[in-house]
């Protein structure tokens, strides 16, 4: 009979189920331990041998912890929303839920056969209304929250509204969109809709026009982590950028905390690095550059360096007002009236002999034209600017109070006789005395704007991580999408710039990525003023600058940035070296082959920072910029907010309805908002999401519900919390349950979730932490990423144009074509020719060229997939060898975290081991042969050596060496013909986490009741491991030559003597001098001779 795994495994799986052996208790005196597997998406294909790898490892650990007296939470569930079921629904009309449930059943059956110790009573499915009620609930909380930077956590939105009513948004530091400042009065004056619109800029779940990754083939948007190289991760369809109104989660508010949290979790460096990279923190400075369209004018007036007194007096308003007026100025400049345009042509560029600016902000006004030197304002009447509702009279009075003279002309005058108007202005200005002094409070510099000379175009901010190189900035580059481009481009360059911008915008992401090395760009005709040197630098636009990062504009430092360098070389722009390697002399950048990008060196050609090191200079420059009010230190993140809408059917509906076009959350009592039936799973003709097809998709009051659904990561972001208390209908989870289970002690899953699930889930948890709902701010204490199991495909070689196949070793003699062959037709690389002929009709008459009478297949290690015919189904292996063998073999394959190819042939060895183990306990007739005889020292040593090894291997998740230890132990006990209870009973317990079924069977046969799962894990006793002697390896000059058995307590001097006397040593000593003898107790003896 022997080892009947089939019978045994069935029996014990039934036992576990009936006795609820693996039930976890929310109240317990035992310490808790939470072991979690990343729950699977139940695909139609079922499990292949790669899927259970992590589950087996975590199961071993969970079982080990139970043996150690822990109350173990080890749950399983299903990430049930996903594209395949929906695609299938579109094709066949089958409701995705039907498909999903069918797949879940299949998964469950497969999982059950492997003998996992899950507490199945806690199963969750993300598509279950009882579950997604809480996904929706969390969304509502996000909607009702904002992020307060002052206390660095989320707060209820009511808090914010209260503050708005008190002080407007003047003292609010929030993680939010760009919002104009407003006072309490202004807040109160807003309509409800306006207030809602304003709040939307602060909410953690918000609706906004967003540039999204639109996938036309899938008909939905995708999150950044769902897009790989410009194609959708699922399906590989092209993805394009599109502006759409979408829900987003303000995950960027948590960027720093997500980064900091990584320091306190026990994860692999790899995943931590991926997350750090994804968050992409960089420190630097925001610098304001003034912009001007100086164009054809010879030399721009040079502001004298340094010295606040001599700074040009361009600011005639304070910073806050300027901020408020800025947009208006931009707008007005963009849309001048015809009269203004006409007059400007006559006034610009000193034509009158006086320097005149247009649309300049003075106080809270924007005046049409001004000559600052003469403190004279020229206004054109007879038009109503959108933003100027006040009476001109009042305006004049105020401006006069500030010391300005206002002269007015009507539109008509300008149109009828412009020369006369210009003449009047000229003579007025000619006769007016220069107003040298402008009252000091008018241009207090606390954070004023430096506006450059020339035609004033406002300013532009750039982000740089290298403010130290500001003196080396010789040009500026704007992203083609940058809003200023249109404004600043000179007429003569307009055509060229527009052509370029259009071209750049229409290039796909894909093209932009693949053509990284081509340098393209055009000059806009505008200039920016380097705020430290006062020098004008040309402004270009080029697509190597991304609109999505920083401000979409850069200062280019070609000497110290490789991309800027390439650009400067290509377009022949100046390159100034400002950093030199310590101890080296500056060289002519014209001779350089590449830029010097290093963050180390000494500053040169850089004014006040000359001689400083780079890091000193960075800080000095930031200080200076802040002091001058033209820049500040700034931390920038690459992380983007998570787009949360999907135009799909099979997902959680948003608990949102629309009133007057504004979204409102459902009352919590109305949750869950269940997914409605639809007649068709495609978008509507109008392009609305499938939910728009649902009948009566509106509230009782008739307000329409949101028709988008949530993305895949919504349901998986908080599932580990729901496992703690999955039966709770009133709460996500009870406070008690959360305070008991707290966080996941061990989390196992693939590292493909590093930028998706693992970031979103941490964000979700931190948000709930801010709400006081969860007690740990990091959800996953320890994370292990199991490696992927790759397929091992078998290859046959067909001679081209024939139906003749040549064996692997002889294939080079022919022109062959490599074909994948089903791995089930191949054993140990030998092809079953008869089976192959029957496999496909076209091979029925195939002929073969054999080697040694066999057809040997080649192999290829690649992804396990149906098309490669290399998928190994665990069910087949369980049928043939049993679950215990499968469990052991998956662990035996290699280190858990390493990718490794699957090769079924090795499984025999593990199977043999279990059979051999069985024979320690039973004879050929299945009679128990275990005796109560006292074990020998040697036997005890074998056992305790194994206990020590297996324990330490489990602790460090080295399961492959653990299996090997069991094999060694079994081999040694077999050699010793040991059948003693005192040895074999602990061995069964030791093995139980790995090969649970056979261990249970042995345990029961040995006379125990109630199962093995909670029997204390064996402890090793050092006294059995003690050795009296040690076989010292003796080496000469580091080469091991022979072994010498010596007592362990022998003194070094004695050992040296023994070594020299040893017979085998003579050969190596002969004719040589002994220089030195090194003795490391219980390790090695090394004799140095020469």
Partner RNA sequence: GCGGAUGUGGCGGAAUUGGUAGACGCGCCAGACUUAGGAUCUGGUGCCGCAAGGCGUGGGGGUUCGAGUCCCUUCAUCCGCACCA
- Does position 14 interact with RNA (CB under 7 A)? The reply is no
- Count of CB atoms within 10 A of residue 908's CB? 14
Three-state secondary-structure class, residue 204? coil
Candidates 313, 916, 941, 1058; binder of RNA (CB under 7 A) is: 916
Q: In the complex, what is the shortest distance from the CB of residue 461 to RNA, in angstroms, rounded to a whole number?
A: 11
Asked if omega into 464 is within 30° of 0 (cis), the reply is no
Cβ proximity to RNA: between 293 and 560 the closer is: 560
- Does position 225 interact with RNA (CB under 7 A)? The reply is yes
Q: In the window 1016-1075, what residues touch RNA (CB under 7 A)? A: 1031, 1033, 1035, 1037-1040, 1043, 1067
Cβ proximity to RNA: between 43 and 964 the closer is: 964
Q: In the window 741-770, what residues touch RNA (CB under 7 A)? A: 751, 754-755
Here the tokens at position 754 are: 């590093």
Task: State the Cα–Cα distance between residues 749 and 782, nearest whole angstrom.
Answer: 11
Cβ proximity to RNA: between 282 and 328 the closer is: 282
**Segment near RNA (CB under 7 A); pick from 11-19, 166-174, 543-551, 741-749:** 543-551
Here the tokens at position 72 are: 């173990």
Q: In the window 319-338, what residues touch RNA (CB under 7 A)? A: none
Candidates 45, 170, 217, 546; binder of RNA (CB under 7 A) is: 546
Q: Could you give the dihedral angle defined by the CA atoms of residues 306, 310, 313 and 315, in that order, rounded to the nearest 10 degrees?
A: 40
- Does position 903 interact with RNA (CB under 7 A)? The reply is yes
**Which secondary structure element, helix H or strand E, spans residue 986, and what is its range?**
helix 981-991
Q: Catalogue the long-range contacts made by 1029-1032 (C-beta closer than 8 Å, 24 or more residues apart).
A: 1030/1082, 1032/1084, 1032/1085
- Does position 87 interact with RNA (CB under 7 A)? The reply is no
Task: State the Cα–Cα distance between residues 398 and 395, nearest whole angstrom.
Answer: 5
For 995, which DSSP code? S
Here the tokens at position 343 are: 């007059």
**Segment near RNA (CB under 7 A); pick from 293-301, 323-331, 599-607, 895-903:** 895-903
Three-state secondary-structure class, residue 593? coil
Q: In the window 816-845, what residues touch RNA (CB under 7 A)? A: 827-828, 832
- Does position 1088 interact with RNA (CB under 7 A)? The reply is yes
Over the window 570 to 609, marking each residue x when it contacts RNA by CB under 7 A and - when it does not, the resulting string is: ----------------------------------------
Here the tokens at position 259 are: 């980064």
- Does position 807 interact with RNA (CB under 7 A)? The reply is no
Residues counted in the chain: 1090
Cβ proximity to RNA: between 717 and 904 the closer is: 904
Cβ proximity to RNA: between 276 and 402 the closer is: 276
- Count of CB atoms within 10 A of residue 425's CB? 22
- Does position 850 interact with RNA (CB under 7 A)? The reply is no
Q: In the complex, what is the shortest distance from the CB of residue 512 to RNA, in angstroms, rounded to a whole number?
A: 5
Residue with tokens 């906004």: 208
Cβ proximity to RNA: between 195 and 961 the closer is: 961
Q: In the complex, what is the shortest distance from the CB of residue 378 to RNA, in angstroms, rounded to a whole number?
A: 40
Candidates 901, 986, 1011, 1018; binder of RNA (CB under 7 A) is: 901
Give the residue among 72, 73, 271, 114 at the shortest CA–CA distance from 891.
114
- Strand-pair partners of 636: 282
Task: State the Cα–Cα distance between residues 639 and 763, nearest whole angstrom.
Answer: 12
Task: State the Cα–Cα distance between residues 100 and 9, nearest whole angstrom.
Answer: 28
**Segment near RNA (CB under 7 A); pick from 112-120, 274-282, 769-777, 1005-1013:** 274-282
Contact 609, 532 (CB under 8 A): no
Q: In the complex, what is the shortest distance from the CB of residue 911 to RNA, in angstroms, rounded to a whole number?
A: 7
Cβ proximity to RNA: between 299 and 927 the closer is: 927
Q: In the complex, what is the shortest distance from the CB of residue 828 to RNA, in angstroms, rounded to a whole number?
A: 5
- Does position 899 interact with RNA (CB under 7 A)? The reply is yes
Task: State the Cα–Cα distance between residues 232 and 225, nearest whole angstrom.
Answer: 9
**Segment near RNA (CB under 7 A); pick from 380-388, 538-546, 601-609, 808-816:** 538-546
Task: State the Cα–Cα distance between residues 471 and 609, nearest whole angstrom.
Answer: 9
- Does position 693 interact with RNA (CB under 7 A)? The reply is no
- Does position 554 interact with RNA (CB under 7 A)? The reply is yes
- Does position 809 interact with RNA (CB under 7 A)? The reply is no
Candidates 465, 490, 734, 824; binder of RNA (CB under 7 A) is: 465
Q: In the complex, what is the shortest distance from the CB of residue 900 to RNA, in angstroms, rounded to a whole number?
A: 4
- Does position 862 interact with RNA (CB under 7 A)? The reply is no
Contact 316, 361 (CB under 8 A): yes
- Does position 1086 interact with RNA (CB under 7 A)? The reply is yes
- Does position 550 interact with RNA (CB under 7 A)? The reply is yes
- Does position 313 interact with RNA (CB under 7 A)? The reply is no
- Does position 425 interact with RNA (CB under 7 A)? The reply is no
Three-state secondary-structure class, residue 429? helix
Contact 816, 797 (CB under 8 A): yes
- Count of CB atoms within 10 A of residue 390's CB? 11
Here the tokens at position 633 are: 């230190």
**Which secondary structure element, helix H or strand E, spans residue 1085, and what is its range?**
strand 1084-1089
Q: In the window 492-531, what residues touch RNA (CB under 7 A)? A: 512-513, 515-516, 518, 520
Give the residue among 205, 231, 2, 11 at the shortest CA–CA distance from 911.
2
Q: In the window 152-211, what residues touch RNA (CB under 7 A)? A: none
**Segment near RNA (CB under 7 A); pick from 414-422, 568-576, 803-811, 898-906:** 898-906
Candidates 449, 900, 980, 997; binder of RNA (CB under 7 A) is: 900
Task: State the Cα–Cα distance between residues 623 and 626, nearest whole angstrom.
Answer: 5
Task: State the Cα–Cα distance between residues 983 and 939, nearest whole angstrom.
Answer: 7
Q: In the complex, what is the shortest distance from the CB of residue 219 to RNA, in angstroms, rounded to a whole number?
A: 23
- Count of CB atoms within 10 A of residue 342's CB? 17
- Count of CB atoms within 10 A of residue 1065's CB? 21
Candidates 26, 87, 282, 337; binder of RNA (CB under 7 A) is: 282
Q: Where are the beta strands (DSSP E) in 779-828?
A: 780-785, 789-799, 804-806, 816-821, 826-827
Q: In the window 935-994, what residues touch RNA (CB under 7 A)? A: 949, 952, 958, 960-961, 963-964, 967-968, 971, 974
Candidates 70, 881, 913, 1024; binder of RNA (CB under 7 A) is: 913
Q: In the complex, what is the shortest distance from the CB of residue 770 to RNA, in angstroms, rounded to a whole number?
A: 26
Candidates 461, 894, 1006, 1074; binder of RNA (CB under 7 A) is: 894
Cβ proximity to RNA: between 72 and 625 the closer is: 625
- Does position 906 interact with RNA (CB under 7 A)? The reply is yes
Number of residues that bind RNA (CB under 7 A): 89
Residue 801 to residues 71, 695, 797, 804, 846: CA-CA distances in angstroms?
A: 65, 60, 12, 9, 12
Task: State the Cα–Cα distance between residues 1015 and 998, nearest whole angstrom.
Answer: 15
For 684, which DSSP code? P
Candidates 79, 543, 745, 985; binder of RNA (CB under 7 A) is: 543
Candidates 464, 621, 765, 816; binder of RNA (CB under 7 A) is: 464
Cβ proximity to RNA: between 130 and 512 the closer is: 512
Cβ proximity to RNA: between 37 and 543 the closer is: 543
- Count of CB atoms within 10 A of residue 53's CB? 22
Here the tokens at position 840 are: 């496909």
Give the residue among 997, 764, 836 at the shortest CA–CA distance from 16.
997
Cβ proximity to RNA: between 523 and 913 the closer is: 913
- Does position 236 interact with RNA (CB under 7 A)? The reply is no
């Amino acid at each position: 009979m022997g080892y009947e795994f089939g019978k045994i495994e069935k029996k014990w799986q039934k036992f576990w189920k009936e006795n609820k052996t693996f039930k976890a208790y929310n109240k317990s005196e035992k310490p808790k331990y939470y072991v979690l597997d990343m729950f699977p998406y139940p695909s139609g294909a079922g499990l292949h041998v790669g899927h259970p790898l992590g589950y087996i490892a975590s199961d071993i650990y969970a079982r080990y912890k139970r043996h150690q007296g822990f109350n173990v939470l080890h749950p399983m569930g299903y990430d049930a929303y996903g594209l395949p079921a929906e695609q299938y629904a579109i094709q066949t009309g089958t409701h995705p839920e039907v498909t999903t449930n069918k797949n879940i059943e299949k998964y469950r059956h497969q999982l059950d056969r492997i003998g996992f110790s899950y507490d199945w009573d806690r199963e969750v499915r993300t598509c279950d209304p009882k579950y997604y009620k809480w996904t929706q609930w969390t969304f509502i909380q996000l909607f009702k929250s904002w992020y307060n930077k002052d206390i660095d956590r989320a707060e209820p939105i009511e808090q914010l509204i209260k503050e708005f009513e008190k002080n407007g948004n003047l003292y609010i530091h929030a993680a939010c969109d760009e919002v104009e400042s407003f006072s309490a009065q202004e807040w109160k004056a807003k309509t409800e809709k306006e207030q809602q619109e304003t709040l939307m800029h602060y909410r953690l779940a918000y609706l906004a026009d967003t540039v999204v990754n639109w996938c036309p083939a899938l008909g939905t948007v995708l999150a950044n982590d769902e897009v790989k190289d410009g194609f959708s991760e699922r399906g590989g369809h092209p993805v394009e950028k599109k502006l759409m109104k979408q829900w987003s989660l303000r995950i960027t508010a948590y960027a720093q905390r997500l980064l900091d949290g990584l320091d306190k979790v026990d994860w692999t460096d790899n995943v931590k690095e991926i997350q750090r990279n994804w968050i992409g923190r960089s420190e630097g400075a925001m610098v304001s550059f003034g912009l001007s369209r100086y164009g054809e004018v010879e030399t721009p007036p040079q502001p004298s360096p340094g010295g606040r007194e001599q700074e040009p007096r361009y600011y005639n308003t304070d910073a806050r007002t300027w901020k408020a007026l800025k947009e208006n100025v931009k707008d007005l400049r963009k849309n001048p009236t015809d009269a203004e345009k006409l007059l400007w042509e006559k006034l610009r560029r000193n034509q009158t002999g006086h320097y005149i600016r247009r649309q300049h902000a003075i106080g809270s006004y924007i005046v049409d034209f001004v000559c600052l030197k003469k403190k004279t304002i020229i206004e054109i009447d007879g038009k109503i600017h959108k933003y100027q509702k006040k009476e001109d009279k009042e305006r004049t009075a105020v401006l006069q109070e500030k010391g300005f003279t206002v002269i007015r002309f009507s539109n008509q005058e300008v149109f009828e006789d412009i020369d006369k108007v210009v003449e009047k202005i000229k003579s007025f200005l000619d006769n007016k005395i220069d107003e040298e002094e402008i009252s000091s409070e008018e241009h207090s510099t606390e954070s004023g704007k430096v506006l450059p000379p020339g035609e004033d175009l406002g300013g532009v901010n750039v982000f740089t991580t290298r403010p130290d190189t500001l003196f080396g900035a010789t040009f500026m580059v704007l992203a083609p999408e940058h809003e200023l481009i249109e404004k600043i481009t000179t007429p003569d360059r307009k055509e060229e710039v527009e052509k370029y911008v259009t071209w750049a915008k229409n290039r796909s992401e894909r093209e932009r990525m693949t053509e990284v090395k081509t340098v393209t760009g055009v000059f806009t005709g505008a200039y920016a003023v380097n705020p430290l040197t006062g020098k004008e630098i040309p402004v270009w636009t080029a697509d190597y600058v991304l609109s999505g990062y920083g401000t979409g504009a850069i200062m280019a430092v070609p000497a110290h940035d490789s991309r800027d360098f390439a650009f400067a070389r290509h377009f022949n722009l100046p390159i100034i070296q400002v950093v030199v390697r310590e101890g080296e002399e500056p060289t002519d950048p014209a001779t350089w082959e590449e830029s010097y990008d290093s963050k180390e060196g000494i500053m040169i050609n850089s004014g006040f920072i000359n001689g400083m090191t780079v890091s000193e200079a960075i800080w000095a420059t930031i200080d200076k910029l802040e002091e001058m009010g033209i820049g500040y230190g700034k931390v920038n993140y690459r992380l983007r907010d998570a787009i949360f809408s999907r135009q799909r059917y099979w997902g959680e509906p948003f608990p949102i309805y629309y009133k007057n076009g504004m979204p409102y959350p459902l009352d919590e009592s109305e949750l869950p908002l269940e997914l409605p039936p639809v007649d068709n799973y495609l978008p509507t003709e109008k392009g609305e999401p499938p939910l728009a097809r649902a009948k009566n998709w509106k509230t009782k009051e008739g307000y329409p519900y949101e028709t988008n659904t949530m993305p895949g990561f919504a349901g998986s972001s908080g599932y580990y919390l729901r496992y703690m208390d999955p039966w709770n209908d009133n709460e996500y989870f009870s406070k008690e349950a959360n305070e008991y289970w707290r966080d996941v002690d061990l989390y196992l899953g693939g590292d493909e979730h590093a930028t998706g699930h693992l970031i979103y889930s941490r964000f979700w948890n931190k948000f709930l932490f801010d709400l006081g709902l969860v007690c740990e701010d990091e959800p996953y204490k320890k994370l292990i990423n199991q490696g992927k199991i790759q397929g091992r495909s078998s290859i046959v070689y067909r001679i081209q144009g024939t139906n003749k196949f040549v064996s692997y070793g002889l294939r080079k003699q022919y022109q062959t074509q490599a074909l994948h062959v089903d791995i089930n037709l191949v054993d140990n690389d030998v092809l079953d020719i008869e089976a192959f002929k029957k496999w496909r009709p076209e091979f029925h008459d195939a002929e073969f060229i054999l080697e040694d009478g066999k057809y040997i297949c080649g192999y290829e290690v690649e992804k396990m997939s149906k098309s490669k015919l290399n998928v190994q189904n665990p069910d087949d292996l369980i049928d043939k060898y049993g679950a215990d063998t499968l469990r052991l073999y998956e662990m035996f394959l290699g280190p858990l975290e390493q990718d490794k190819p699957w090769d079924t042939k090795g499984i025999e060895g593990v199977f043999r081991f279990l059979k051999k183990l069985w024979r320690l306990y039973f004879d050929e007739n299945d009679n128990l042969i275990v005796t109560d005889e006292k074990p020998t020292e040697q036997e005890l040593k074998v056992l305790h050596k194994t206990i020590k090894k297996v324990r330490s291997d489990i602790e460090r998740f080295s399961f492959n060496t653990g299996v090997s230890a069991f094999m060694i132990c079994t081999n040694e006990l077999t050699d010793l013909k040991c059948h003693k209870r005192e040895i074999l009973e602990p061995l069964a317990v030791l093995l139980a986490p790995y090969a649970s079924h056979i261990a249970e069977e042995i345990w029961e046969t040995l006379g125990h009741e109630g199962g093995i799962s909670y029997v204390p894990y064996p402890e090793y006793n050092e006294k059995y491991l003690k050795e009296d002697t040690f076989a010292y390896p003796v080496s000469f000059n580091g080469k091991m030559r022979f072994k010498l058995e010596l007592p362990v307590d022998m003194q070094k001097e004695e050992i040296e003597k023994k070594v020299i006397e040893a017979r085998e040593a003579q050969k190596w000593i002969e004719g040589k001098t002994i220089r030195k003898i090194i003795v490391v107790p219980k390790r090695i003896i090394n004799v140095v001779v020469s």
